Amino acid sequence: MKNFKILLASTLVVLVSASCALAKDCANKTTDKLEAYAHPTMFGSQAQQTNTAKETYMVGGKIYKTHNRLGVIKKDNVYINSRVDDLMALLKSKQAAGFNAKMPVLRSELAVILSEEFGLKDKTVKKAYKDIPSDYWAKDWIYGALNSNVMIGYPDKNFRPDQPVTKAEVFATIAQLIAVPIDRSLIIPQFKGKDIQKIPRWAIVPTKEVVSSQLLEDIPNPDKVADDEYLSKEQVAYLICSLKQNWAGKKTIGKDKNAPASIQNYNPTVLEVKLADRLSARSSNVGDKFTAKLDDDVTINGKCFKEGATVKGEVVEVVRPGLKNPGLIKVKFTQIKDGDVCVDFPKNSSQAYADDLKNPNFIARLLGAPFTASARVVGVAVRTVGSAVNVTGNGLEKVGDNLSDTFVETFSLQPVAGAKSFGNVFVTVGKGVYDLCKLAVSGTFGVLYEFTDEVRYLIVPSFSNNSSLNPGEELKIIF
């Protein structure tokens, strides 16, 4: 009985020590910790990485995430180097810490977005404003908007650059640029089935014109458009980028006959290209290069490029498809070349949208399927084994360290520390078993997912069309 009590007491010490070790381990976890999965897209990740106090290992590629997105027409999940992203990055780089794209747009920021998109940036100061010093961060953009009469200052010779712009004022600014048939009654317009709130009487007609233009159809956070007094910075950027895209492509929105000359004369450069390669969120990687062929003659920087000129691009972001995640692929266009004539695209020239969607024919898909399917399945299987070896190796190493600490601490007359180290053995073994089970589940899922996804693409390719760019597909690049 005495021996049983001693055994029971020892067991309780081990369990308490193990619980303390586990609690400490949980407390030490950081928010950016990533865990190992054989098929990472099952959990919305591209990489597999485990970080602990003593070891770090990773299997697979880097993780790339997207934030603000400007979609490709008819391809809701494919994004082509979002211009909205570029504009938000520009604003963030020029301002103090704490920039938030979800906050109301300021007058200075509206001037930047308008000037950037319509090429209005201007160093000339025709009429100085007291609150725009010579070193003000947005000076050239503000005077570009002012000189082109797209925006105006206040009679007291102030521009008020840090003043938020109401959505009514944004709509009025856009409405002076566009021509859209509307009834001019003063009935409050609706958006997405809701009356637009906080619109004063003077702004009802301009608001109707913007709503009728359909530029708001896919704007982020549509409920806030109807309910809030202000539009966010990214919403305004999306609105103006959508207008630029329309003028470059569909051209369903006319220019107001009373619009400033800078807008009347504005015509974005448009490149129509046809892809020569297939890019897919399922198999492409960041950094992959691709080519396309120019579909029509174009002049860039005074240089003429003939139909058939080579346009080069690069994959800049990939999110693998997985459970409830159709995936996306984002690319940028870098250069156009025709013989010895070559022009590098400016960094802000990569807004694009799909004009003609195509899928590889059945024979092409059938011939490619065995290679893609086997490669993807084998890749998942090998990652499963590799991850299991990593988990096992790291676990055995840690168990050995814990057992060593147990004997050293115990025979150094530190029995509590020794018991705690011994308890850590059970924690390590438990975590190892958990990780191996997780790998087995995700690995099995991965094999099944890759196989069924390949079969689905073979039979009904349209299911994968939103996360791929296919040979022969036509894109329009705007800058």
pLDDT digits (tens, 9 = 90+) for 261-275: 999 998 887 888 888
User: Could you give the percent of the chain with pLDDT greater than 90?
Assistant: 30
Whole-number Cα distances in Å, 148 to 112, 120, 121, 297: 13, 7, 9, 30
Domain count, the chain: 3
pLDDT at residue 182, as a whole number:
92
Within-domain flag for 35 = yes
Residue 397's CB: how many other CB atoms inside 10 A?
A: 13
**Same-domain check for residues 387 and 354:** no
Q: pLDDT tens, 333-354?
A: 888 899 888 888 765 554 555 6
**Same-domain check for residues 111 and 248:** yes
Residue 433 has, within 13 A of its CA and on its CB side, a CA count of 5
Could you give the angle at the alpha carbon of 157 between the alpha carbons of 156 and 159, nearest 5°?
105
Q: Which residues, 6 or more positions from 156, have their beta carbon under 8 angstroms from its beta carbon?
A: none
pTM, rounded to two decimals = 0.65
**Same-domain check for residues 17 and 127:** no
Whole-number Cα distances in Å, 312 to 73, 134, 245, 306, 332: 21, 40, 21, 15, 9
Last residue of a domain, one of 230, 264, 298: 264
Residue 339's CB: how many other CB atoms inside 10 A?
A: 9
pLDDT at residue 383, as a whole number:
76
Within-domain flag for 411 = yes
**Same-domain check for residues 53 and 92:** no
**Same-domain check for residues 326 and 182:** no
What's the mean pLDDT in 362-373?
78
Q: 26-35, 257-266, 343-352, 441-450: which range is least confident on average?
A: 26-35
Work out whether the CA dihedral 365, 367, 371, 373 comes out positive or negative.
positive
Within-domain flag for 71 = no
* Long-range pairs for 439-444: beta carbons < 8 A, 24 or more residues apart: 439/36, 439/37, 439/38, 439/384, 439/387, 439/388, 439/391, 440/38, 440/384, 442/37, 442/38, 442/39, 442/40, 442/42, 442/43, 442/384, 443/38, 443/39, 443/380, 443/381, 443/383, 443/384
What's the mean pLDDT in 415-425?
89
What's the mean pLDDT in 320-324?
66
Within-domain flag for 72 = no
Q: From CA 78, how far away is CA 234, in angstroms rounded?
A: 19
Last residue of a domain, one of 231, 264, 297: 264
pLDDT at residue 214, as a whole number:
93
**Same-domain check for residues 94 and 151:** yes
pLDDT at residue 354, as a whole number:
60
**Same-domain check for residues 102 and 218:** yes
| pLDDT value at 151 more than 50 | yes
pLDDT at residue 108, as a whole number:
96
What's the mean pLDDT in 396-402?
89
Q: 259-263, 320-324, 380-384, 392-396: which range is least confident on average?
A: 320-324
Are 183 and 206 in contact, with CB atoms under 8 Å apart? no
Whole-number Cα distances in Å, 351 to 189, 390, 479: 30, 42, 7
Gyration radius from the chain CA atoms: 29
User: Percent helix, strand, coil in the chain (nearest 5)?
Assistant: 45, 20, 35
What's the mean pLDDT in 20-28?
39
In this prediction, residue 454 has a pLDDT band, given cuts at 50, 70 and 90, of confident
Greater confidence, 479 or 90? 90
**Same-domain check for residues 386 and 460:** yes
Query: Which amino acid is located at 456 in the chain?
Result: R
**Same-domain check for residues 109 and 87:** yes
**Same-domain check for residues 30 and 155:** no
What's the mean pLDDT in 316-343?
78
Residue 53's CB: how many other CB atoms inside 10 A?
A: 8
| pLDDT value at 92 more than 70 | yes
In this prediction, residue 149 has a pLDDT band, given cuts at 50, 70 and 90, of very high
Q: From CA 443, how far away is CA 380, in angstroms rounded?
A: 6
Within-domain flag for 76 = no
| pLDDT value at 382 more than 70 | yes
Within-domain flag for 75 = no
In this prediction, residue 377 has a pLDDT band, given cuts at 50, 70 and 90, of confident
pLDDT at residue 464, as a whole number:
65
pLDDT at residue 324, as a whole number:
61
Within-domain flag for 404 = yes
In this prediction, residue 72 has a pLDDT band, given cuts at 50, 70 and 90, of low
pLDDT at residue 113, as a whole number:
95
**Same-domain check for residues 37 and 127:** no
Are 112 and 101 in contact, with CB atoms under 8 Å apart? no
pLDDT at residue 9, as a whole number:
40
DSSP for residue 281: T
**Same-domain check for residues 353 and 380:** no
Within-domain flag for 70 = no
Last residue of a domain, one of 229, 264, 299: 264
Q: From CA 294, how far away is CA 291, in angstroms rounded?
A: 10
Q: What range defines the domain where residue 385 resides?
A: 2-63+363-468
Q: 81-85, 105-109, 260-264, 425-429: which range is least confident on average?
A: 81-85
